[in-house]
Amino acid sequence: MITKAIYETITELYPNEKWRYSAETETLDLSNLKFENGFVPDEAKIKEKYDVKLAEIEADVIATQYQRDRRYPSVGDQLDMQYHDELDGTTTWKDAIAKVKSDNPKE
């Protein structure tokens, strides 16, 4: 999430500049941000934009948690379950779908 916020911040502020960020950190550390061709960015502008971007990303993660929690097995896995249920007389597929639904009821 931090890296995404850094990437989106710098890309939006300086779309025509080439840059790299050389660390995976828990906070924005501008000493790890290097621009090519001697470009000097406005650090205050970066920090302000970064704080806004990070808040947007965190809000999106919270808002979409339900969709991530209510993920069903992949289609391939479901078809495999159905195939084996048919052969073995089991209810693996129905049980898997019911568990996702009961663990994460529609809001």
Task: Report the share of the chain in percent with pLDDT over 90.
Answer: 75
73: left (phi over 0), alpha (psi -120 to 50) or beta: beta
Residue with tokens 């495999």, as numbered in its chain: 80
CA dihedral 43, 47, 50, 56 (to 10 degrees): -150
18: left (phi over 0), alpha (psi -120 to 50) or beta: beta
8 A C-beta contact, residue 7 and residue 40: no
State the pLDDT confidence band at 2, using cuts at 50, 70 and 90. low
> What per-residue confidence (pLDDT) applies to 56?
94
- Residue predicted with more confidence, 88 or 4: 88
